[in-house]
Amino acid sequence: MSVNPPIRLKRGLQRALRHRGYALYRLTAEERAAIERRDDRESLDSVFGPSLDRLQELRRRYSEVDLPVAIHSVWGARKTRRGTTDIGWGGVDLRNFRGHSAYVWDYGSASFEATNLKFYLFTEAVRRKDRLGLLGTLTEDGAFGCSTYEYEGTGPVSRDLLDSVVEINFLDKHVGVVQRDDLRVLDIGAGYGRLAHRMLEAQPRIQSFTCVDAVPESTFLCEFYLAERGLEERVSVVPLDELTTTFESNPDYNLAINVHSFSECTYAAVEWWLQRLVDLEVRHLMIVPNNPAAFLSLEVDHRRRDYAPLLDQLGFKLVAQEPVFDDPQVQALIGVRDNMFLFERC
């Protein structure tokens, strides 16, 4: 085991840091290992190989789409100070797309120990909610940069796995998942396909699962990731410029899902998606907003707009609501007060 060199900082500097509210601490072996792993990242080419051509193609095609959903507040490609391009809140390192990123934040804390404790609480909270016993069947292999944590009696867990287990249990309680064989799901803003992967593994009899998104990198990752998981035959990933034709062919969906996506879309984009759900007569819509109690869009100038009246006006009635973490103490300690909402149109 390597030994860290002692911290040599002038006493005055240490005092000045403390005075401004900073503290210095020595990294644990796990933290150093995690940082070294991150510094030793592979190239885009070695992760995706020739599939990268598909990303270029999708970027070109999406740039030509003239729909309200193609206008972004936070998910438009932007130049970083380093001259690279980035997307989403906090950015996405495509090579480690399942790591802490704009797709799934990792609830990370300043130290590995604090994060580890948070994840212990998280895992225990999910275990208590997991009526379906999915923690015993779904697994986490840490692929593509996903941070994992392991405790007595569990295999490795991650936020990808734990969030998905909570969401599938919620859906099962209110619309049925495991007993049904007629579920036809439309996941809007599907990201890299996190929930598609988990739902299809939890329920092999799902009739169809369609992932849509308005960001070329997300569609690219979703296609790539679900193929890596061997699910390409069971899932349909529809690119943005094929959506109108796809929807005009009147596909039959009975459940739409939107997890942490409408909160990062403009009002016009949310309205466009909701109107499609009305046209397609989708019965159930699950939304997990970023705000615990409000349905707020994110405009191009970063103002927020309430889309709850729009849901009501379009006939979406709230039929179920549940916090991700039931215990208010756990909510406070993890710093997450997210709620899951289910709407129904009759």
Ligand X SMILES: C[S@@+](CC[C@H](N)C(=O)[O-])C[C@H]1O[C@@H](n2cnc3c(N)ncnc32)[C@H](O)[C@@H]1O
Contact set with ligand X (CB under 6 A):
69, 72, 75, 102-104, 188-191, 194, 213-215, 218, 259-261, 264-265, 269
CA atoms within a 13 Å half-sphere pointing along the CA-CB vector of 158: 21
CB of 273 to ligand X, least distance (A): 7
Q: Give 190 or 199: the residue with its C-beta nearer to ligand X.
A: 190
In angstroms, rounded to a whole number, what is the distance separating the alpha carbons of residues 301 and 298? 8
As given in the structure block, the two tokens for residue 114 are 């604090």
Three-state DSSP string of 78-141: EECCCCCEECCCCCCCHHHCCCCCCCCCCCCCCCHHHHHHHHHHHHHHHHHHCCCCHHHCCCCC
In angstroms, rounded to a whole number, what is the distance separating the alpha carbons of residues 240 and 257? 17
CB of 3 to ligand X, least distance (A): 40
Asked if residues 317 and 341 have their Cβ atoms less than 8 Å apart, the reply is no
| Residue with the shortest CB distance to ligand X | 191
CB of 72 to ligand X, least distance (A): 6
Q: Give 103 or 341: the residue with its C-beta nearer to ligand X.
A: 103
Helices 159-174 and 112-129, interaxial angle, to 10°? 20
Q: Give 125 or 188: the residue with its C-beta nearer to ligand X.
A: 188
Q: Give 112 or 266: the residue with its C-beta nearer to ligand X.
A: 266
Q: Give 104 or 200: the residue with its C-beta nearer to ligand X.
A: 104
CB of 214 to ligand X, least distance (A): 3
CB of 259 to ligand X, least distance (A): 4
Q: Give 35 or 294: the residue with its C-beta nearer to ligand X.
A: 294
Beta bridge partners of 258: 287
Cα angle, residue 316 at apex, residues 313 and 319 outer, rounded to 5°: 140
CB of 270 to ligand X, least distance (A): 8
CB of 336 to ligand X, least distance (A): 14
Q: Give 112 or 199: the residue with its C-beta nearer to ligand X.
A: 199
Three-state DSSP string of 312-331: HHCCCEEEEEEECCCCHHHH
CA atoms within a 13 Å half-sphere pointing along the CA-CB vector of 238: 19
